[in-house]
Structure 1
Amino acid sequence: MPSVLATSAPPARGHGRVDKGPTVKSVFTFAVSLSALTAAAPALAQQAPAPDAATTETHGDIVVTATRTPVSIDQVPASITVLDKASIDRSQDIGATELLLRTPGISISRNGGYGTSTSLRIRGAESDHTVVVIDGVKLNDPAATGGGFNFANLLAGDIARIEVLRGPQSILWGSQAIGGVVNIVTAEASSDYEGSFDVEAGSRQTVSARAAVGGRTGPLSWRLGAQAFSTDGISAIAPAFGGKEPDGYTNQNLAGRARLDLTANLSAEVRGYYSNGRVDIDSTSGDNADYSRNEEFVGYAGVNLDLLDGRLRNRFGYAYTDTDRDSFGPARARPLSFESEGRNKRLEYQGSFAFTRGISATFGVENERSKFRSRSPAASLATPLPAFATGNAEITSAYAQLSVEPIEGLTLNGGIRHDDHNRFGGQTLFAAGGVWRLPTGTILRANYGEGFKAPSLYQQFSEYGNVALAPERATGWEAGAEQQLFGRKLVIGATWFERTTTDQIIYNGCTTTSTVPLCFVPGSTTVRRFGYYSNVSRAEARGIEVSGALNLAGFTLDGNYSWIEAEDRSAGTATFGNWLPRRPRETANGSIGYAFPFGLSTGAAVRWAGHSFDNAANTTRLDNYTLVDLRAELKANEAFSVFARAENVFDEEYMTAYRYGTLGRSFYAGIRGRF
C-alpha cells in the first residue's frame, strides 16, 4: 500500500525447453506489428503516458513511475511507497538504505558501518530478489553471489524520488523482481538555471558534501550532481567480539542526465551514474588492515518518439552497467585477495498506447547480455594466479500490460511476459490486479503476480558453482484497503500478502570427509572445495503491513508496522519451519514533526525491530532493538537553511548480522542551499 551462453557450459537442459520462446528477431517483429496495429486505431484526444521509469511527468496528486509509466498512486494495484525530495531532505539521512528502512516491509543486514556489505530484503524475500532501478536502468551485479545489488555505496546524492514497489513484479521488470522493485530517480532540471548543495559533518570525523547544477536552454535540459563522503567509521567486528580499530569509508559519486528535444515529438537523452567506494574491512577473527574497493557505472542512451498526437509513445534505449569489486590484504605477500567484474548490456524498446480514455497498454521487448569474471588469488607469490571463473548469459523478453477503467474509479490491470533464456528456455509469467476508488475516500486493492529468476552466473560458474541449477520461481498475492480522510490529510491502511518461492537456491558447506559429488571440483573426484549451490529450498512468506499518516497545519505524524512470517518450508530437512535468517518477524517505524511559522522544523523518529536469527538452524539469535533519532532545521530564507540531527540517541547496542558492529550515538550538523 502507498505512504529496483555460459563459458564451457553444456547444451541447454531439457526442463523448460519445449517452448523455445521468441528469438530476438521475432520479439522485435512483435513490437513493430503491435505499433502498426495501434496506428490504425481512430484518433482521439487521449494521450499515452511516457514509457519511462525515470520520467518526471506529473499529473494528479502523487505520481509513481516504478510501473514503467507515470501513474497516479491511487491507480496502482500493488503496494507502493513514495519518498519525494521534500521527505528525503526532511529525514537528513546520508544513505539510501536509511531512507528505505523507514518504509513498510523492509529489513536490512549490514556487516559493519557505512560502506560494508548491505543486504536489503522486501517482505522477507532474499536480498537478490529485489530489482534496483536507477534512472530507468536495472542495476545488478552479475558477479555478485545472487546477481543482486549491494546497497552499501548508494548514498542519497542527487536523488529526487524513491519508490518501493512490493511483491512480485516480474511482468514489467523481469528476472529477479520476486520481492519487489526499488525505483530511484535523480533530479531533472525544472528551470532555466538551478542549483543546490548540502554540506555536513559529525561524529567519527564524518564529512559529506553534495552539489548539483542544471538548467534549460531552448530544447536542451540538463543536470549534473556530485557527492563526496568520508568517515573514520566504526570497527566492522563488534567490540564484544574483539573489534577495536575503526574501519573507515570513502565514497565519491556522480549522477547526470540530459535531454534534447529535436522536434515536437522526437527527443534524445543520456543518463549516467558513477560511484567509487573504498571501505576498510575485518576478518571474521578480528581486526586487520584489509580493505575493499567497489566501482559502479550506469549508462543510458535513448530516443523518444511520439506518434498519433501522443497516443502512441515509444522509447528505444541502450543501457550498460559495470560493477568492479576488489579486495586487498596489505599484510599478504600478494595484496590482491579477490577481484571480480560484472557487466550488463541491454537493448530495449518500450511503448505505451492510449486506445480510448480509460484503456491503455504498456508493452516492450528487451535483450540483455550479462557476463562476469572473478578469482581469489593465493597470498603466496609462489602460487600462480588462478584463471578467472567466467560465464555469460543472454535473455530476450517480450511483455505487455493492459490497464482498463470500465467504470469511474475502478482500474483493472492484466499483464503477460515471456522470457527466453539461452540456458533455461522459455518461461511465461502472468499478473493481474485491480484498484477500486470509492467516493468515500476508500481505496481497495488486490494483486497477483508471478516471479522467475534464473541462477546467477556466480552460482553456476564460480568456484562454488553448479551448472545443473534450476531457476527459482515464485507466486504471490496481496489484498488491502486504504481510507483517506479530510482531503487526504489523514490516511490509514492495511495490506495482507502471501508469497511462495520454490527451487530456491542456497549455499551448502562441505566437510573435509563429505562424499557428496558436488563437494569436489567439477571433473575431479579428489580435489575438494568448500561448498556448492543447489536447489533444495522452498520458502513461504506471509504477513500484514499497516500504516498511517496525518498532515495538519505544519504538524506531521506517521507510522507503519509490519508482521512478516518468512519461513523455510523445505520438506524433509532439519530446517523445516525455521525462520529465514536475518529477517525480524516484526518491525515498526514512527515519526513526528512540527514546522513552526518562523522557519524552524523539528522532528523525531523511532524504529523498532523484533528479534531474528543469524543462521538457518535458528541457533544464533539477534536481539530486538529500538533506535531513536532527533532532527531540526532552521531556514534563514527561502534559499538557505542550517540543520542538525542526533541518531541512535540512547546509544543502543545491536546487530543486524552476528559479530558485526553497528553505529552508536551520532551527531551531525550542516547547511543546505536551494536556488
Structure 2
Amino acid sequence: MQIVSCRRAAIAALSTCFVLPAAQAAEEEAIIVTASRTLQSANDTLASTSIIDREQIDNSQARDVMQLLQLEAGIDMARGGGPGGSTSLFMRGTNSNHTLVLIDGVRASSATTGSFAWAHLAPSDIERIEIVRGPRAAHYGSDAVGGVIQIFTRDNKGSHVRVQGGSYNSRLVEFGTGDSKGNLDYSLNATHRDTDGFSATNSKSSFFNSDEDPYRNNSVSGKLDYRLNDDTQIAFKGWHSDSKSNFDQGTQDNQNSTGDLRLTHQSTTNWEQQLSVGYAKDENETNEPSRSSFVQTNRLMADWKHDLTLSDNALLTAGISTVEEDTLNINRITDATVYDESIRNNGLFTSLQYFAGDHDIQLSGRVDDHETFGSHNTGQAAWGYQLNEQHRLFASYGTAFQAPSSNNLFHPGYSGFYAGNSDLEPEESESFELGTKSQFGAQQLSISLYHTEIDNLISYSGTNSQAINIDKASIEGVEVVHRYQAKTWQLKSQLTLQDAVDDETGEDLDRRAGEKLSVNYTRQFENDSQLGVEWLYRSKRKDDDERLDAYQLVNLSGQYQLASDFWFEGRVDNLLDEEYELQYGYNTAGLSAYAGVRYHF
C-alpha cells in the first residue's frame, strides 16, 4: 500500500462527514502537556495528539487499559491470553518498546524488556491519558521513536465506592477519596480486580492446556499537592500495582511502582522552573517447572526544566536530566545470577516555540550521553500555519534513537534460543509528518500522513532467533480522526491505514494491522445516564510465519442514575461473540457481560 493510496482511501471513508446537520459549537479545547513539555491547546500542538479523560473512562466502563487504547488511531494492541496476559502496544507501526510510557512524568517501562506492563494498570487509577504520535526523542531522549503515552493518575474530588461483577467470575471493588483543604490537595484511589479467566492458549499452541488461567490485581494511586506560596508548589504522586497471573506453563507475580516528587517555582514573571525526582520499580517472579526467574528493574531519574518567556510570541524551554537503571535477572532453578547491570544516561535538551502571525515554529534538540553507547543527538523541527479560521496545517521532521534493553544485550536465552547480543547497536530513526486540523462548528477533523525509517532495527531473527540488528524497517501511513459533538450525543471515528515492512525481507512487521477503523457513539440523557457503542475493525496481520484473521468487535456500555449520587453501570464485550486472535495460539474473550453500582458521597 503506497501512502498516496492510503490518503485516497482515508478521504473516501470520511467523505460523508460533512453531511451532518449543524450543531452547537465544540466544547472548550483540551489542554495537553506531553507534546512539548509545556501547556498547549490540543489543537495548537504541532503533532498528532489525543486525550482520554476521566469522563470517557467512566462512560466506557473499560475493564482494562487495552480496551481504551485499542480504539485510538495509530495504535495496535496484542495480548497473550486473557486479563494479566503479556500485552504489547505498537504505535505507528514501531516496536512495542518504541513508545515512551510515562506515569506522572516518570519513565515506567521495564528496563529489562523495554516495554510497559499494560495488563497491570487499572483504568480506575487513571485521571487522563495523553497520546502523542510521532517521535519525541528531542524532548525525552531514548524510547520515544513511535510516540509518547503519558498516564496521569487519579485526582478524586470527593469520595466514591464501586462494586462490579460479571463473566468468567470477574469481580471489581474500588474506593477513592480526595479533597482540597487550604493549600493542600490530596487524592487516594484503591482497586481490587480478580477473575477466573479462561485458558490463555488454544490447540494451535505447543504448550496448550485447557484449564482456566485466573488473574488477581491490587493497585493504589495517590497524590499530595501543597502550595507553599503564590509562586511555589510541591507535589508527590505515586502508583503501585501487585498482581498474580496464571498461564499454561505456570504463574507470574508482578509488582510495578512509580513515584514522582516535583517542585515548581515561578522565579520571575517570565521564568518558571521545575525540579522533579522520579522512581520506578518493576519486579517479575516467574514460576515454571522448566524455567523460573526473578527479574527486577530499579530506575531513578531527575529532571530540571526551565521555561523562559522571551517575548509575547517566543517561549524557550531548556533543561537537564539523568536516569540510572539497575537491572537484575536471577535463575530460580539454579539461583545463579543471569545478569546484574547498571546503566546511566545524562541528557541536555532545549526547545524554542515561536509564534508569528499565522505561523508557528518549534525547534527542539537534545544530546544524550549513554554510558554504554556514547553520545546521541536528536532533533525535531515543526511548522504550523493557520490557513483560515477552520483549517490549520502542520508539518514536522524528527529523529530518535532506542538503546537496547538489558534483555536485548545480556539475556542468555532459553536452551540457546532468543538470546541477547552484546554487540547490538542502538536503533535510530527519522520521521516525516504532514497533517491538517479542521473545525466545522461541532465537527472536528484531523488527517495525518507519516513516514518513518528505522535503521539497525532489533529483531530476534538471527541464528537460533538471537537478537540482531536488521538493516532497516520502513513505515508509512495515514490517520484520520473525525468527531461530531451534538447536544446529547457524540460520534468519534478513527481510521488508520499503514504499511510496516522489514526492508531486508520485504515482509510485514508482526502484529501490525494494515487497516483499522473504530467508531464510538455516546448518547447522554437528561439524568446524567449514558449509553455507548464501540465498533472496532482490524485487518489481517502477520505473526511470525502465521497470518491472523481480520476481526470486528462490538461493545456496549452504559450507566443509569438510580438516585442523585447512585449509578447502575454495565458493559457488554464482544456482543457478536467473534472468534479472533491477537497473538497466534492465544485465546480471547467471547461474549461477556459485567455490571455493578457506583456511589458518590
TM-score (normalizing by structure 1): 0.81
Deviations 1:306-362 (A, max 9, x none): 1113x2111112111111101113xx4xx9711111111112101112112221122
- For structure 1, which segment, 59-68 or 662-671, has the greater mean C-alpha deviation from structure 2 after superposition? 59-68
Q: 1:560 to 1:327 in 2, by over 3 A?
A: same
- Whether the aligned pair in 2 keeps the contact of 1:349 and 1:365 (CA below 8 Å) is yes
- Whether the aligned pair in 1 keeps the contact of 2:88 and 2:115 (CA below 8 Å) is no
Quick one: which amino acid aligns to residue 233 of structure 1?
G
Question: Is it true that 1:427 corresponds to 2:380 in the alignment?
Answer: no
Q: Which residue of 2 aligns with 1:477?
A: 432
Question: Is it true that 1:641 corresponds to 2:567 in the alignment?
Answer: yes
Task: Please give the residue correspondences for 1:440-479 in structure 2 after superposition, counting only pairs within 5 Å.
Answer: 440-463=389-412, 464-479=419-434
Structure 1 residue 439: deviation in Å? 3.6
Q: Which of 337, 340, 348 is residue 390 of structure 1 equivalent to?
A: 340
Structure 1 residue 600: deviation in Å? 3.4
Task: Please give the residue correspondences for 1:77-156 in structure 2 after superposition, counting only pairs within 5 Å.
Answer: 77-144=46-113, 147-156=114-123
Quick one: which amino acid aligns to residue 485 of structure 1?
F
Q: Which residue of 2 aligns with 1:606?
A: 535
Structure 1 residue 187: deviation in Å? 3.0
Deviations 1:220-271 (A, max 9, x none): 1111111110001111112665542110000011111111122221222211
Aligned length: 566
User: Using the alignment, how far apart are the partners of 1:71 and 1:414 within structure 2?
Assistant: 16
User: Using the alignment, how far apart are the partners of 1:301 and 1:257 within structure 2?
Assistant: 10
- Whether the aligned pair in 2 keeps the contact of 1:62 and 1:73 (CA below 8 Å) is yes
Q: Which residue of 2 aligns with 1:559?
A: 493
Query: What is the DSSP-based 3-state SS (H/G/I as helix, E as strand, rest coil) of the residue aligned with 1:387?
Result: strand
- Whether the aligned pair in 2 keeps the contact of 1:392 and 1:457 (CA below 8 Å) is no
Question: Is it true that 1:186 corresponds to 2:153 in the alignment?
Answer: yes
Structure 1 residue 104: deviation in Å? 0.2
Q: Which of 66, 76, 99 is residue 34 of structure 2 equivalent to?
A: 66
Identity over aligned pairs, percent: 26
Quick one: which amino acid aligns to residue 239 of structure 2?
Y
Task: Please give the residue correspondences for 1:264-663 in structure 2 after superposition, counting only pairs within 5 Å.
Answer: 264-283=230-249, 290-309=250-269, 311-329=270-288, 332=289, 337-378=292-333, 384-407=334-357, 409-463=358-412, 464-486=419-441, 489-508=442-461, 510=463, 531-570=465-504, 576-615=505-544, 619-663=545-589
Structure 1 residue 638: deviation in Å? 4.3
- Whether the aligned pair in 2 keeps the contact of 1:390 and 1:461 (CA below 8 Å) is no
Query: What is the DSSP-based 3-state SS (H/G/I as helix, E as strand, rest coil) of the residue aligned with 2:66?
Result: helix
Q: Which residue of 2 aligns with 1:519?
A: none
Quick one: which amino acid aligns to residue 461 of structure 1?
F
User: Using the alignment, how far apart are the partners of 2:390 and 2:408 within structure 1?
Assistant: 48
Query: What is the DSSP-based 3-state SS (H/G/I as helix, E as strand, rest coil) of the residue aligned with 1:447?
Result: strand
Q: 1:458 to 1:632 in 2, by over 3 A?
A: same
Quick one: which amino acid aligns to residue 169 of structure 1?
R
Quick one: which amino acid aligns to residue 317 of structure 2?
T
Quick one: which amino acid aligns to residue 573 of structure 2?
E
- Whether the aligned pair in 1 keeps the contact of 2:60 and 2:558 (CA below 8 Å) is no
How well do the aligned residues superpose, as a CA RMSD in angstroms? 1.7
Question: Is it true that 1:668 corresponds to 2:594 in the alignment?
Answer: yes
**Higher Cα radius of gyration:** 1
User: Using the alignment, how far apart are the partners of 2:410 and 2:348 within structure 1?
Assistant: 27
- Whether the aligned pair in 2 keeps the contact of 1:395 and 1:421 (CA below 8 Å) is yes
Query: What is the DSSP-based 3-state SS (H/G/I as helix, E as strand, rest coil) of the residue aligned with 2:428?
Result: strand
Deviations 1:490-514 (A, max 9, x none): 1122111000000111124545xxx
Query: What is the DSSP-based 3-state SS (H/G/I as helix, E as strand, rest coil) of the residue aligned with 1:142?
Result: coil
Q: Which of 110, 115, 124 is residue 157 of structure 1 equivalent to?
A: 124
Unaligned runs of 5+ in 2: 1-26, 413-418
- For structure 1, which segment, 103-112 or 664-673, has the greater mean C-alpha deviation from structure 2 after superposition? 664-673
Unaligned runs of 5+ in 1: 1-58, 284-289, 379-383, 512-530, 571-575
Q: Which residue of 2 aligns with 1:50?
A: none
User: Using the alignment, how far apart are the partners of 1:435 and 1:101 within structure 2?
Assistant: 29
In terms of fraction of residues, the more strand-rich structure is 2
- Whether the aligned pair in 2 keeps the contact of 1:390 and 1:462 (CA below 8 Å) is no
- Whether the aligned pair in 2 keeps the contact of 1:189 and 1:221 (CA below 8 Å) is no
- Whether the aligned pair in 2 keeps the contact of 1:401 and 1:416 (CA below 8 Å) is yes
Structure 1 residue 389: deviation in Å? 1.2
User: Using the alignment, how far apart are the partners of 1:198 and 1:173 within structure 2?
Assistant: 37
Deviations 1:424-464 (A, max 9, x none): 11111110112233443112121211101111122112212
Structure 1 residue 475: deviation in Å? 0.5
User: Using the alignment, how far apart are the partners of 2:587 and 2:421 within structure 1?
Assistant: 33
User: Using the alignment, how far apart are the partners of 2:370 and 2:77 within structure 1?
Assistant: 30
User: Using the alignment, how far apart are the partners of 1:336 and 1:536 within structure 2?
Assistant: 29
Q: Which residue of 2 aligns with 1:14?
A: none
Query: What is the DSSP-based 3-state SS (H/G/I as helix, E as strand, rest coil) of the residue aligned with 1:177?
Result: coil
Deviations 1:173-221 (A, max 9, x none): 210100111111123356xxx1233321110111112221111111211
- Whether the aligned pair in 2 keeps the contact of 1:189 and 1:216 (CA below 8 Å) is no
User: Using the alignment, how far apart are the partners of 1:587 and 1:638 within structure 2?
Assistant: 39
Structure 1 residue 375: deviation in Å? 3.0
Q: Which residue of 1 aligns with 2:15?
A: none
User: Using the alignment, how far apart are the partners of 1:602 and 1:350 within structure 2?
Assistant: 43
